[in-house]
Structure 1
Amino acid sequence: MKARLLDTGLHADRPFRVKLVDEYYLNSPFHFHDTCEMVLIEEGYGKRIVGDHIDDFDKGDLVLMGPNLPHIWQNDNMFFQKKKDHRVKATVLYFAPSMVLNLVAGTEAAREVDMLFTKACRGLLIKNDTHRVLLSRLREISIAEGLKKVSILLDIIDLLCHSADYDYLASDGYKNALTTKDAGRFNDVYQFLITNFHREIALDEIAGVAKMSPTAFCRYFKDRTQKSFVGFLHEIRISHACKLLRQDDLSIMNIALESGYNNLVNFNKCFKGITSLSPSEYRKNLRNK
């Protein structure tokens, strides 16, 4: 499965569309395209990569992405067993930025819309009141027809233009430096890491996935992502640990082991280096909230 500049099915006569997903697991590879995309996860969980950002996703995850922002949502391993009690449901909204900008051209809204799309090039995780309102709007747009569908889309854009209920995902100044060939190679690497992060991964092994020598792979990974491979692997593991810390029945040691660390001192050091908190402090904050 190779990543590519994905065809979203949009064209001059179809400048936006809604896709409803109901599958055993999400099957799109690491990819990018020249349209905006909003993804609502209604059922399912796993890990998502947006630009240079990695995190866990769960039911209710809602993200807006601008054009040419590489991304992948990959479910946890158990979804690939195709059991009836593990399915994924999602609503995906694709729309061409040019269509929206043409509709508001010459109005005061044009600048606001253009600014929104610029922000979305880093990926926006929608939350709080805006999240709650958009859940309703996405249900409405999935069944609406004709001008009503366009009206709801513009309502969604207007709401986002005037909202501060979001967190940026990709880092400040992030630019997609990947070619289609690069994205295909990173698809293989990312899927391997997401599947195997919980165990020891030798540099020779991951370099083999990329079909490169270890030295060339480290240089290539750092050049394309501005991160070291080891640093990125720690981000995957600590992201997983953060999810497990929400479960009170798991000890810190068990969480460390399930996240790929067999040494508690090393786990605590890596966790604090990424989150600025110790695992116990992070869990305490969760309980307080």
Structure 2
Amino acid sequence: MSSPNIEKTITSRQAFIFKDLKSPYFNPKWHFHPEFQISYIIKGKGTRFIGDHVQTFKEGDLVLTPPNLPHLWRSEEAYFEKNNPLGTHAMVIYFDQELMSPPLLRREEFYTLRKLVENASRGIEFYGSTPRDVYRLMQGIPPKKGFKRIINLLEILEVMADSETYNLLSSPGYTGVFKTNDAEKMHLVYDYVMKHFTTKIELQDVADLLNMTTTSFCRYFKPRANKTFTRFVNEIRIGHARKLLLEDNFNISQISYECGFNTLSNFNRQFKSIVEMSPHEYQKLFLNIKAGIS
């Protein structure tokens, strides 16, 4: 088994680094690292995992993740096909947590930044005008040198700290139980589920990936994902269903089977459990929003 994806992204001589990433697909490895991370998706679609949170993403996705919170932006299966013309593009900033030191954040002038750091412990997704404003500032980083780069980063953090349009992602108090080889093991599970969630997934097949019994696998998975494996699979399926409902190419019955549910009643039940509204209510809500915007 390969080495775990516990990554160190910047050196001790750097306060932060900026990356303009273009590739056929996003890094498919479940990983974590000791830096804060700001990620803006310019091009690409898929499923985003932040701690125990699962959600689809697309262009314009802006997320702040804290040190050591596991995360993964996994591209849709079409991006992994040979010679596909899709491609992905993202701008990412990694910055040292020492920039956000407690003595500094206790100062009155840093109140909003302190609240941002506190919220970031769960991962933060921004929406509204905030992603666009942050993207504009990120574009200005590459030509800057020295302290001007730090000022640019602080301007980005100020926009995020002042934003009122955001969602906290992972559950309150979520703490994964990680050992040195957990990242690779969880990657195997996530990768398998993403490839097979539209069909029936046998628990034994997944347990075999990790050379475990089904009982041992269930005990292993739950504290690391903060949910049962069944719930995890259903969240992946419902996330895909939400995407299809907004595309309006299928009726609800077709979508339920497209997402791996054997019966429409089970699909409706799981959808309401996870989204807290029925598929029809969800579709109607966003169609109304779309009509209002247009």
TM-score, normalised to structure 1's length? Answer: 0.94
The answer to whether 1:229 aligns with 2:267 is no
Distance 1:198 1:110 in 2: 47
1:185-222 deviations in Å (ceiling 9; x for gaps): 11111111112111100111111122210011112212
Distance 1:60 1:54 in 2: 17
Distance 2:188 2:268 in 1: 29
Q: Which moved more, 1:178-187 or 1:200-209?
A: 178-187
* Residue of structure 1 equivalent to 2:281: 281
The answer to whether 1:193 aligns with 2:193 is yes
Superposition deviation, residue 181 in structure 1: 1.6
Superposition deviation, residue 264 in structure 1: 1.0
Distance 2:55 2:260 in 1: 16
149 and 255 in structure 1: CA distance in 2 versus 1, 3 angstrom threshold = same
Instruction: Specify every segment of 5 or more residues in structure 2 that has no aligned partner in the other structure, as ranges.
Output: 290-294
1:25-53 deviations in Å (ceiling 9; x for gaps): 11251111110001111001111110000
Q: Which moved more, 1:113-122 or 1:88-97?
A: 113-122
* Residue of structure 2 equivalent to 1:218: 218
Residues 1-289 of structure 1 aligned to structure 2 (within 5 Å): 3-8=4-9, 10-83=10-83, 85-101=85-101, 104=104, 107-289=107-289
Superposition deviation, residue 2 in structure 1: 5.2
Distance 2:241 2:3 in 1: 29
Superposition deviation, residue 178 in structure 1: 1.7
TM-score, normalised to structure 2's length? Answer: 0.92
The letter for the 1-side match of 2:6 is L
Distance 1:182 1:63 in 2: 23
103 and 59 in structure 1: CA distance in 2 versus 1, 3 angstrom threshold = farther
1:124-158 deviations in Å (ceiling 9; x for gaps): 00111222211211111233222221111011112
**Structural RMSD (CA):** 1.8
Superposition deviation, residue 254 in structure 1: 1.7
Is the 1:6–1:31 Cα contact (8 Å) retained in structure 2?
yes
Distance 2:175 2:212 in 1: 24
Secondary structure in 1 aligned to 2:67?
coil
Instruction: Specify every segment of 5 or more residues in structure 1 that has no aligned partner in the other structure, as ranges.
Output: none
Secondary structure in 1 aligned to 2:63?
strand
The letter for the 2-side match of 1:186 is M
Distance 1:179 1:78 in 2: 32
The letter for the 2-side match of 1:244 is L
Is the 1:65–1:122 Cα contact (8 Å) retained in structure 2?
yes
177 and 274 in structure 1: CA distance in 2 versus 1, 3 angstrom threshold = same
Distance 2:212 2:8 in 1: 29
Secondary structure in 2 aligned to 1:232?
helix
Superposition deviation, residue 67 in structure 1: 0.5
Is the 2:47–2:74 Cα contact (8 Å) retained in structure 1?
yes
Distance 1:111 1:248 in 2: 44
How many residue pairs get aligned? The number is 288
Is the 2:37–2:64 Cα contact (8 Å) retained in structure 1?
yes
47 and 2 in structure 1: CA distance in 2 versus 1, 3 angstrom threshold = farther
Is the 1:3–1:30 Cα contact (8 Å) retained in structure 2?
no
1:252-286 deviations in Å (ceiling 9; x for gaps): 12211111112111111111111121111110001
Distance 1:28 1:273 in 2: 28
Superposition deviation, residue 245 in structure 1: 0.3
Distance 2:152 2:162 in 1: 16
1:143-181 deviations in Å (ceiling 9; x for gaps): 322222111101111222222221011011112322232
Q: Which moved more, 1:130-139 or 1:45-54?
A: 130-139
Give aligned-pair identity as a percent.
35
